[in-house]
Structure 1
Amino acid sequence: MNCVLGIDLGTSAVKILLINQTGEVVKEVSKSYPLVHSKPGWSEQDPEEWVQKTIEGISEITADFKEVSKIQGMSFSGQMHGLVLLGENNEVLRNAILWNDVRTTSQCRNIEDKVGKEKLLEITKNPALEGFTLPKLLWVKENETELYEQAHKFVLPKDYLRYRLTNQLHAEYSDAAGTLLLDIAKKEWSSEIAQIMGIDLSLCPDLVESAALVGTITEETAQLTGLAESTKVFAGGADNACGAIGAGILKDGLTMCSIGTSGVVLSYEASSDKEFGGKVHYFNHGKEDSFYTMGVTLSAGHSLTWFRETFAVDHSFDELLEEAKSVPPGANGLLFTPYLSGERTPHADADIRASFIGMSTSHQQKDFTRSVLEGITFSLNESIEIFRSEGKNINKIISIGGAAKSPVWLQMQADIFDAEVIRLSSEQGPGMGAAMLAALGCGWFQSLEDCAEEFLRESAVYQPVTEHAAQYKEIFSIYKKVYDQTRDLNKALASLRSAGTNS
Structure 2
Amino acid sequence: MSYLMGIDLGTSGVKALIMDLEGNIAGKGKADYGIQTPEIGYAEQDAGQLWNATVSSIKQALSDSSIDPSEIKSIGLSGQMHGLVIVDNKMQPIRPVIIWPDQRSKKQIDSIYSIAGRQRLRETTLNSLSTGFFLTSLMWIKENEPDNYRKIYKAILPKDYIKFKLCGVISTEATDASSTAAFNTAKRCWAFNLIEETGIDADYFPEIGESLKISGTVTKECAGQTGLCHGTPVIYGGGDTLMYSVGTGIIKPGIVSVNIGSGCQTATSVNEPLYDKEFRTNTFCHVKNDLWLIIGGHLNGGITLKWLKEKMFPNMSFADFDVRAKEINAGSDGVIFLPYLSGERTPYHDPSAKAILFGLTLGHNCNHIIRAAMEGVVMAMRLSLEIFRELNIPTEKIVASGGGARSDIWLKMQADIFDAEICRTTSCEEACTGAAIAAGVGAGIYNSIEEACSRIVRYSPEVTYPDKESVKVYNEAFERFKLLYCNNLNLFT
Alpha-carbon spacing, 1:56–1:466, altered in 2? closer, same or farther (3 Å): same
Measure, in 2, the Cα distance between the counterparts of 1:314 and 1:86.
41
Q: Which of 460, 464, 467 pairs up with 2:466? A: 464
| 2-structure distance, mates of 1:67, 1:103 | 46
Contact 2:29 / 2:59 at 8 angstroms: preserved in 1? no
How far apart are 1:397 and its partner, in Å? 0.7
SS at match of 2:181: coil
Which residue of the partner structure matches residue 430 of structure 2? 429
Q: 2 CA distance for matches of 1:309 and 1:101? A: 20
- Stretches of structure 2 that go unaligned for 5 or more consecutive residues are none
Instruction: Quote the offset at 1:480 in angstroms.
Output: 0.8
Residue aligned with 2:333, SS: coil
**Secondary structure of residue in 2 paired with 1:85:** strand
CA distance in 2: counterparts of 1:487 and 1:312, whole angstroms: 28
Contact 1:159–1:170 (8 Å) recurs in 2? yes
1:95 aligns with 2:96: yes
The whole-number CA distance in structure 2 between the counterparts of 1:36 and 1:363 is 34
Deviations 1:371-425 (CA, angstroms, capped at 9, x unpaired)? 1111111111011011111211211111011121111111110111111111211
Q: Name the structure 2 match of 1:58.
A: 58
Instruction: Report how far residue 273 of structure 1 moved.
Output: 4.1
| Alignment CA distance shift 1:393-1:66 (3 Å) | closer
Residue in structure 2 matched with residue 499 of structure 1 by the alignment: none
Q: Count matched residues.
A: 491
The equivalent of 1:47 in structure 2 is 47
**What is the alpha-carbon distance in structure 2 between the residues aligned to residue 129 and residue 62 of structure 1?**
38
Alpha-carbon offset, residue 173 of structure 1: 0.4
- How far does residue 274 in structure 1 lie from its aligned partner after superposition? 4.0
Inter-CA distance 93–319: structure 2 relative to 1 (3 Å threshold):
closer
SS at match of 1:18: strand
Give the equivalent residue in structure 2 for 1:280. 281
Give the letter aligned to residue 384 of structure 2.
Answer: S
Query: Is 1:481 aligned with 2:476?
Result: no
SS of residue in 2 equivalent to 1:229:
coil
Give the Cα–Cα distance (whole angstroms) in 1 for the partners of residues 369 and 161 of structure 2: 42
| 1:227-274 Cα deviation digits (max 9, x unpaired) | 221311101101111111111111111111111111111111111144
Matched with 2:74 is 73
Residues 20 and 466 of structure 1, relative CA distance in 2, 3 Å threshold = same
CA contact (8 A) 1:171 1:205 kept: yes
In the alignment, what sits opposite 2:319?
318
- My pick for the range that moved more, 192-201 or 316-325, is 316-325
TM-score (norm: length of structure 2): 0.96
Aligned to 2:365: 364
- SS of residue matched to 2:398: strand
Q: How does 1:207-226 map to 2 (within 5 A)?
A: 207-226=208-227
Deviation at 1:185, TM superposition (A): 0.8
Give runs of aligned pairs for residues 28-427 of structure 1, distance below 5 A: 28-64=28-64, 65-427=66-428
Kept in 1: contact 2:5–2:75 (CA 8 A): yes
SS in 2 for 1:230: coil
Of 251-260 and 224-233, deviating more is 224-233
- Residues 184-207 of structure 1 show CA distances to partners (whole Å, capped at 9, x for unaligned) of 011111121012101222211110
CA–CA distance in structure 1, aligned partners of residues 317 and 97 of structure 2 = 33
SS of the residue 1:268 aligns to: strand
Residue deviations 1:200-222 (CA, integer Å, cap 9, x gap):
22211110000111121111112
Q: Report the Cα offset of residue 283 of structure 1.
A: 0.7
Structure 2: which amino acid aligns with 1:452? C
Q: Secondary structure of the equivalent of 2:362?
A: coil
Between stretches 364-373 and 332-341, larger displacement belongs to 364-373
Contact 1:247 1:427 in 2 (8 A): no
Structure 1 letter corresponding to 2:10: G
CA distance in 2, matches of 1:153, 1:206: 10
Secondary structure at the residue paired with 2:372? helix
Alignment check: 8 A CA contact 2:275 2:282 kept = no
Match of 2:18 in 1: 18
Output the TM-score relative to the length of structure 1.
0.94
Structure 1: runs of 5+ lacking an equivalent? 492-503
The answer on whether the counterparts of 1:84 and 1:95 sit within 8 Å (CA) in structure 2 is yes
Shift in Å, 1:98: 1.3
Looking at structure 2, the residues matched to 378 and 3 of structure 1 have their Cα atoms a distance apart, in angstroms, of 40
Q: 1:49 to 1:362 in 2, by over 3 A?
A: same
Q: Matched residues in 2 for 1:273 and 1:410: separation?
A: 29
Secondary structure of 1:350 counterpart: coil
Q: Which of 34-43 and 450-459 deviates more?
A: 34-43
| Percent of paired sites with the same residue | 34
SS of aligned partner of 1:462: coil
C-alpha distance in 1 between matches for 2:169 and 2:430: 26
Give the secondary structure class of the aligned counterpart of 1:158: helix
CA contact (8 A) 1:209 1:286 kept: yes
Q: Counterparts of 2:223 and 2:357 in 1: how far apart (Å)? A: 53
* Cα pair distance change 1:310/1:221, threshold 3 Å: closer
Aligned alpha-carbon RMSD (Å): 1.5
Letter in 2 for 1:3: Y
Q: CA deviation at 1:303?
A: 1.7
